[in-house]
Structure 1
Amino acid sequence: MSSSSLKGSCLCGAIKYEVTSILPQMAHCHCTMCRKFHGAAFATFGVARSADFKWLQGKEKLKTYRADNGAARQFCEDCGSSLTFAASDCDGLFVEFSLGTLDSPLAIKPDAHIYCRYKADWYEPNDALPKFPEGRDSSE
Structure 2
Amino acid sequence: MSSENRYKGSCFCGGVQFTVTGEPAAMGYCHCSDCRLWSAGPVNAFTLWNPEAVKVLQGEDEIRTYNKSPKSFRKWCATCGGHLFTDHPEWKLIDVYAATIPDFPFNPAVHVNYQETVLPMKDGLPKFKDVPQEMGGSGEAMSE
TM-score by length of 2: 0.84
**2:57 matched residue in structure 1:** 56
**2:97 matched residue in structure 1:** 98
Q: Which amino acid aligns with 1:57?
A: Q
Evaluate the alpha carbon distance shift between residue 87 and residue 5 of structure 1 in structure 2; reply closer, same or farther with a 3 A threshold: closer
Q: Matched residues in 1 for 2:90 and 2:52: separation?
A: 19
SS of residue paired to 2:128: coil
Displacement of 1:87 after TM fit? 3.0
Evaluate the alpha carbon distance shift between residue 39 and residue 16 of structure 1 in structure 2; reply closer, same or farther with a 3 A threshold: same
**2:20 matched residue in structure 1:** 19
Evaluate the alpha carbon distance shift between residue 53 and residue 68 of structure 1 in structure 2; reply closer, same or farther with a 3 A threshold: closer
Question: What is the 5 A alignment of 1:51-130?
Answer: 51-68=52-69, 70-87=71-88, 89-91=90-92, 94-106=93-105, 108-120=106-118, 123-130=119-126
Which stretches of structure 1, 4 residues or more, deviate above 4 A after TM superposition? none
Q: Matched residues in 1 for 2:89 and 2:19: separation?
A: 24
Q: Is the 8 A contact 1:17 1:55 kept in 2?
A: yes
**Cα deviation code 1:73-125 (max 9, x no counterpart):** 0011122222111235254xx3221011013241x5010110011112xx211
Aligned residue pair count: 134
Q: Percent identity?
A: 26
Q: Matched residues in 2 for 1:118 and 1:42: separation?
A: 10
Q: Which amino acid aligns with 1:75?
A: W
Question: What is the 5 A alignment of 1:13-52?
Answer: 13-52=14-53
Q: Matched residues in 1 for 2:61 and 2:26: separation?
A: 29
Say which structure, 1 or 2, has more relative contact order (CA 8 Å, 6+ apart): 1
Displacement of 1:59 after TM fit? 0.9
Q: Matched residues in 1 for 2:31 and 2:14: separation?
A: 27
